[in-house]
Amino acid sequence: MTPRPPPPSLSPDPSPSSRTYSSRSSSTRSTQSTRSNPDLFTPRSTSPTPRCEMAQITLHQREVALSKATEEFSLEKAAFILEKRELQLQKDEWAAANDNVKQAWDAEVQRKRQETRDAWTKVAVFFLAIPVMTLGVTMLLVEAVGGWRILVWAVATAAGYRV
């Protein structure tokens, strides 16, 4: 690759032939010095603006940009706060609906448990009543048969029969 010739100088120097470029490093230095000095780019007929005034303008521009950014940030923050409130309201609505469903579910479960308990109570009474009634009937029969035998023995003994 062949080295490029140095760029033409934008300096206000009227005689470009007075400058000679002996090597690449000197051309780099001259280009860098031209870039770092903005006064070289201003034409001779105009007066350069003072740096202080430029600093005030850029400071004012920065303040304006900062105030715009702050205003945009405040608007975004307000939008996020509104969205947060809406989401919180929606969350509260969902929680209330969930509580209502849970209460209805618990009431239904309690009702089914009571129905099941009542059914099992009936089954238990039925199956416990049969043995109790059978035992009661058996006891009555034993008493009746025992009482009959005692009565027959007492009559036979009183009559003189040997039993």
Q: Could you tell me the pTM of the whole model?
A: 0.39
pLDDT digits (tens, 9 = 90+) for 49-81: 556 777 777 888 889 999 999 999 999 999 999
Closest CA relative to residue 43, chosen from 10, 17, 19, 18: 10
User: What is the band of 118 on the pLDDT scale with cuts at 50, 70, 90?
Assistant: very high
pLDDT at site 79: 95
